[in-house]
Structure 1
Amino acid sequence: MIKAYIKKILLNLDDYFKNKNLNRYYEVIKDINNFEKKMNNFSSKDFLDKTIEFKKRLKFNNDINKLLPEAFALVKVACNKIFNINLFDTQLIGSIILHEGKIAEMMTGEGKTISIILSAYLNSLNSNVHIVTMNDYLAKRDSENNKDVFNLLGMTVGINIPEMSIYNKKKSYKCNIVYGTGNEYVFDYLKDNMIFDIKDKIQSKLDYVIIDEIDSILIDESKIPLIISENNNVNIDIYIKINNLVKFFLYKKNNKYLYIDINYKNKTIIFNELGYRLLEKIMIKLSFINKRYELYKDNNSTILKYMINAIKVNIFFKKDIDYLVIDKNILIIDENTGRISNDRRWSNGIHQAIEAKENVFIKNENKILSSITFNNYFNLYKKISGITGTASNEKDEFKYIYNLNIVSIPTNKPVIRKDYNDLLFFTEDSKIEYIIKDIKKRLKNYQPILIGTTSIKKSELLSYFLNKNNIKHKILNAKYHKLEAEIISQAGKPKSVTISTNMAGRGTDIILGGNYKYILKKNNYDIEKKYKLKNKFKFLNSKVINSGGLHVIGTERNESRRIDNQLIGRSGRQGDPGSSQFLISIEDDLIKRFIPENIIEIIKNSSKNIDYISNSWIDKMIKSAQSKIEKNNFEIRKELILYDNIFNIQRTTLYKIRNNLLNDYQLNKIFNSINDEIVLNYIKNNITSSYSSSLDNYYNYKKIFNLIIYELKEIYPFILEIKNIFFLKNIKNLKVNLLKYITNFIHYYYNENFNFKKINYIKKIILLKVLDFFWKYHIEDIEYLKNNIFLRSYINKDPKEEFKLESFNKFNNIINNWKKYSLIIINIILYISKKNFLKQKELILKLNKYDFIINNDELFNLLNTLN
């Protein structure tokens, strides 16, 4: 009783603060409406003049918030003029929340796309605005649909989708507002950090980003890094040989793997003692290694990697759930959108292991050149905001990781959708049987039905049963993704049945009766035909409303309640009637994995002779299981972000160096600084504190000087030309004066012998290429470290602290190697260009030693630029 009473008080307090916050927004809306009255008769010129006026006012007074009511009023009038609609107060509230750098939680069909327009316009007055959509189709649709409004307001609109030329991308980024997908913005950022000329930079400043369906992008997709890679030539036979050995390690005894230990939470696999012994025996027999304990040597670590990958793909990666096999190619299914990710391949040998498993052609493994997660990329923006219908479930994660608050906005019209209790079936067959009967009953009443499934495999299995029962239907999954917009646009027609995988079609409203505007866009009808079509769809709309609206069937509960809510939210938009129900069975993945077997037995025994049961206790049990999974997933993401943030510091440092190298002034500053550092290190190594600065040691100093010069010859082949006159005057403050003397000679040599522009070009290209080379191997190193660092916990060390320490040591090493090898290659090239043929031959042989960093053709092209 006391618990319930406290809960009631807390809920009332929560409602009180929510309403108090919303009241603040309604006060702003009054001001917006007052300004709107003065603008209702604006001409096209008036809109442009007002935008110019706003920009001028912002120059004198930097507070953009003071402009909000007037700017939003202007957009409201523009939307009325272009779309012939009057914006709801709830849409205006959504826009204010977006401007404040928060997440606006708005239900499906509440006009989220329009809310984005207002905030985008206001912020584009003094910033670049990037809008992120779920897919290319939505980026195209929204940019085209909203372009006229933005143009009326004097703003330009660009689009950023795959396969655009660099010229068109640059043009788009120059626009005030850009629509695109998260992937495309990220890839542009990564490519910008791989260029060799500042003119090739694509992306504009990262000022303000609005993310549509923000929960999908910043929560669901946050753990997968986006990667730019190149082919890494590996003997593909090894994948086939290793794949043939997998069966030995998947042996189970008493339903437990005998040779491996599995962490399902982190999806990691390690060999136990028996497993290592078996692996050693097999590897010795196949001549991969010669004797025991050789597996632990560094040069054999790849054998372990390939073996673990082969086991992983057999346990964790499932055909038609995680990937498709089409035309002998492995295509990844995006677990969040249900769509095929055409341009993606799993890295670290996973994709090749799946190709071996499925007996298709094995393509070369990719070496990662550059990568970043959505989390780290979007945190580069000065301001982030987003909009979605399902964010509240993840409010702790949004706050913890992105420092984003969520504001839930009431619907414009009350939600009248009926959400029925789950039905729990005792067999999968009885569940399918019930679904068929339920569909047939609803079709008699002309009701449209949307059926949500959790995988392609399950969507096709259900399609098979519907075909068997002569039920016409459309299927929407990764195999039919090109028909997505068309299928979803007509999923609200009378008697339509649509089977969909999770989230497919998200971002497109299901309109009751069907979407006649979609038909108009696809066909060039005359006015009479348009009028008839409109009336036909009006009739169909009323028919579906009378049938009870769109009915949603969930065939399985997802691990996340939020994903379930996304499916439910497809029905009952804008006060429409509708209904939803989840039909689940004890054979479902969620039930099998997270509901204890003894509980299932109790339910079975207490419900004999019936096919299903339904009560609030089952709902609570499933909610509890989902809550545990969501908490667990949050912990995994938190841990991944901790590791990624450590790596992100290194990436940010390296990208800063890289960007500075593209600027001539900074380039020379860095180059001179590297020279000073290298020379000073050689001086320190040869002069110890035991040397006195008295003139008695003159010959000693001369000897040291010669030794330093001799050692520097490795990096500066021309250093032997230096005159040994330093010690006539400069024995005091030896290190400082010696550094000054040697570096002055180095700079003199460069300035006297080479054209400034030409030598700058050589410096820039070599410094960038050598930096990229070491960074590429560092990424691979860190990936390996990250995947294996958990083993340190077995020797009572904190994996996170170990990762931090070791990764920064590795990073410092690559920076030191970058400095040293860059100077060696630059100086050899410069020296070759000044020497006679015989001397050149000797130096060219020396240069060949470094073709593992930069290939010979590139080196000789650089050499030719000096001649």
Structure 2
Amino acid sequence: MDILDTVGEVFGMATGKVERFVTKLFGSSNERRVRDIGFIREKNGSSKIRPGSAIERINQLEPDFEKLSDAELRESASKFRARLADGLTLDELLPDAFAAMRESSKRYLKMRHYDVQMVGGYILHKGMIAEMVTGEGKTLVSTLPAFLNGLAGKVHIITVNDYLAKRDMEWMGPAHLGLGLTVGAIQSAMAPHERQPAYACDITYGTNNEFGFDYLRDNMKPRRDLQVQGRLDFAIVDEIDNILIDEARTPLIISGAAADDVSKYPKADWIARQLKRDEHFEVKEKEHSCHLTDEGIRHAEQLAGLESFYTAGNMEWPHLIDNSLKAHHLYKRDVNYVVERGEDHDTGQTIQIVVIVDE
């Protein structure tokens, strides 16, 4: 084993050196992608724009948009939409849309997009991740793909909390309004009739939880006119590591009126209380699971007054009993779940909400 470990370490060091040499020679895949867009960073730290690239075209259009009056600039969205209706693609429209947003930002936000921020906007438009440190203008960069895609459909900009959703909408909103688009923001305290106008905007800011729960609630509504969210066309995720990794550990769970026999639940709970640990069921703390043993299944069938759980109409019983066992033997209040007081979005009544914080 020592020899194999040594060989593995030597092989790892060798491949690492080869990889660093190839990267130094040809550049990383990210560097090559940025060069393809038209932004070239030299080894001495300086940068230049590749002739004929999208970035160069955006820069060439800047003087043209500077000549427009505020009213003419506000017509940009309708003019671009007409060109899309004539068959132009979003990729073909990108230089004009980015140049228009740069000019609107200069007028209404007093900020001008740098060339490297144009690269970030291009990357986001293509559905890729743009990594930027705090202070490099992530919020400003998001206006570029948001405006471009807002011309063809609805855009949702997903942030980590209500404060940032409202702040970013109020901060970046004037740049979008100056080009003829509408903006809105979803806040957790909003009632359904307040959410519909916000979602009707071209660009809507909100948190991942609000977007997620509105989607789930909409799928439970009996009529389309009661739904709030509308089309799902394009989304920009701020702090993607937090939202898609950290926050994703907490599932979004919502319940509606049960269509099955709800009397089975208290009966399954009663059966679970009669069973003996290790004899009728096994508890696996590491896997966070409880399962009936063969003897436990037979005993539970007797308690339920059934010949077999595995016949038509009875196959739900093992699942219900397993869940009851998990509730009794694995879930601890304020550790695995919390009980909170909340408001029903449809009725406005105060209700108790059980939130599972760790599966």
Task: State TM-score, norm by structure 1.
Answer: 0.32
SS at match of 1:209: strand
TM alignment of 1:70-89, pairs within 5 A: 70-89=96-115
Give the partner amino acid of 2:151: L
Q: Say yes or no: does 1:7 pair with 2:19.
A: no
Question: Of the candidates 16, 23, 31, which is equivalent to residue 57 of structure 2?
Answer: 31
Amino acid across the alignment from 1:117: T
What is the 5 A alignment of 1:350-749? none
1:43 aligns with 2:69: yes
Deviation at 1:151, TM superposition (A): 0.9
Task: Compute the displacement of 1:190 (Å).
Answer: 3.6
Residue number among 247, 269, 273 corresponding to 2:290 in the alignment:
269
> Which residue in the other structure is 2:138 paired with?
112
Q: Deviations over 1:760-785 (max 9, x none)?
A: xxxxxxxxxxxxxxxxxxxxxxxxxx
Go from structure 1 to structure 2 and tell me whether the alpha carbon gap of 1:142 and 1:150 turns closer, same or farther (over 3 Å shift).
same
Q: Answer yes or no: is the 8 Å Cα contact 1:323–1:330 preserved in 2.
A: no
Shift of 1:296: 7.8
SS across alignment from 2:291: strand
How far apart are residue 344 of structure 1 and its match? 5.4
Q: Which residue does 1:306 correspond to in 2? A: 324
- Partner of 1:260 in structure 2? 282
Instruction: Map Cα deviations across residues 447-470 of structure 1 (whole Å, 9 max, x no partner).
Output: xxxxxxxx9xxxxxxxxxxxxxxx
How much has 1:121 moved relative to structure 2? 0.5
Higher radius of gyration, 1 or 2: 1
Change (3 A) 1:161 1:267: same
The whole-number CA distance in structure 2 between the counterparts of 1:12 and 1:245 is 67
Whether 1:186 and 2:212 are equivalent positions in the alignment is yes
Partner residue in 2 for 1:626: none
In structure 2, relative to structure 1, the CA distance for the partners of 1:63 and 1:145 (3 Å cut) is same
- Structure number with the higher helix fraction is 1
Partner of 1:527: none
Superposed displacement of residue 311, structure 1 = 1.4
What is aligned with 2:151? 125
Contact 1:158 1:172 in 2 (8 A): yes
Offset from partner CA, 1:423-465 (integer Å, 9 cap, x none)? xxxxxxxxxxxxxxxxxxxxxxxxxxxxxxxx9xxxxxxxxxx
Letter in 2 for 1:260: E
Give the residue type in structure 2 aligned to 1:312. L
RMSD: 4.1
Structure 1 CA distance for aligned equivalents of residues 68 and 84 of structure 2? 22
Distance 1:143 1:260, change over 3 A: same
Q: CA deviation at 1:114?
A: 1.3
- Kindly indicate whether the alpha-carbon contact (under 8 Å) linking 1:95 and 1:116 is maintained by their aligned counterparts in 2: yes
Q: Structure 1's 197 and 80: CA in aligned 2 closer, same or farther, altered over 3 A?
A: same
Deviation for aligned residue 1:241: 6.9
**% identical aligned pairs:** 29
Q: 1:159 aligns with which of 182, 185, 193?
A: 185
Match of 1:52 in 2: 78
- Taking a change above 3 Å as real, the CA distance of residues 303 and 73 of structure 1, as seen in their structure-2 partners, is closer
What is the distance in 2 between the residues matched to 1:268 and 1:36? Answer: 61
Q: 1:7 to 1:303 in 2, by over 3 A?
A: closer
- CA shift, 1:235, in A, is 9.4
Q: CA deviation at 1:117?
A: 0.8
Q: C-alpha distance in 1, partners of 2:323/2:330?
A: 10
Change (3 A) 1:304 1:201: closer
- Could you tell me how far 1:205 is from its partner in structure 2? 2.2
Preserved CA contact (<8 Å) 2:280 2:292:
no
Residue 106 of structure 2 aligns with an amino acid whose one-letter code is: N
Q: Is the 8 A contact 2:120 2:130 kept in 1?
A: yes
Q: Which consecutive unaligned segments of at least 5 residues does structure 1 have?
A: 251-256, 333-341, 355-454, 456-635, 637-867
| Matched residue SS, 1:228 | coil
Give, in angstroms, the shift of residue 293 of structure 1.
8.4
Shift of 1:76: 1.7
Deviation per CA, 1:505-530, whole angstroms, max 9, x where unpaired?
Answer: xxxxxxxxxxxxxxxxxxxxxxxxxx
Cα distance in 1 for residues equivalent to 2:304 and 2:266: 19
1:155 deviation in Å? 0.9
Give secondary structure in 1 for the equivalent of 2:256: strand
User: Paired residue for 1:144?
Assistant: 170
Whether the aligned pair in 1 keeps the contact of 2:282 and 2:290 (CA below 8 Å) is yes
Match of 1:68 among 67, 90, 94: 94
Q: How many residues align?
A: 318
What are the superposed Cα offsets for residues 67-115 of structure 1, whole Å, 9 maximum, x if unpaired? 2222212212222222322333332211110111222222333221111
Tell me what 2:33 maps to.
Answer: 21
Structure 1 pair 234–214 and aligned structure 2 pair: CA distance change class (3 A): farther
Query: What amino acid sits opposite 1:207 in the alignment?
Result: D
Matching residue's letter, 2:303: I
Distance 1:194 1:273 in 2: 38
Deviation readout 1:182-225 (Å, 9 max, x if unpaired): 33333333444444444334333222121222334334455765
Cα deviation, residue 119, structure 1: 0.6
Letter in 1 for 2:110: N
Summarize the Cα distance change of 1:16–1:59 in structure 2 as closer, same or farther, 3 Å threshold: same
Task: Give the aligned residue type for 1:289.
Answer: L
5+ residue gaps, structure 2, are 1-9, 40-49, 343-350
User: How many angstroms does 1:37 deviate by?
Assistant: 3.5
Which residue is equivalent to 1:218? 244
Q: Which amino acid aligns with 1:22?
A: V
Q: Return the letter of the residue paired with 1:4.
A: M
Aligned CA distance change for structure 1 residues 98 and 205 (closer, same or farther; 3 Å): same
Letter in 2 for 1:6: T
CA drift of 1:116 comes to 0.9
CA contact (8 A) 1:44 1:152 kept: yes
The 1:261–1:32 alpha-carbon spacing in structure 2 relative to 1, beyond 3 Å, is same
SS for the counterpart of 1:229 is: coil
Change (3 A) 1:237 1:227: closer
Shift of the 126–82 alpha-carbon distance from structure 1 to 2, 3 Å rule, reads same
* CA deviation vs aligned residue, 1:591-636 (integer Å, no higher than 9, x gap): xxxxxxxxxxxxxxxxxxxxxxxxxxxxxxxxxxxxxxxxxxxxx9
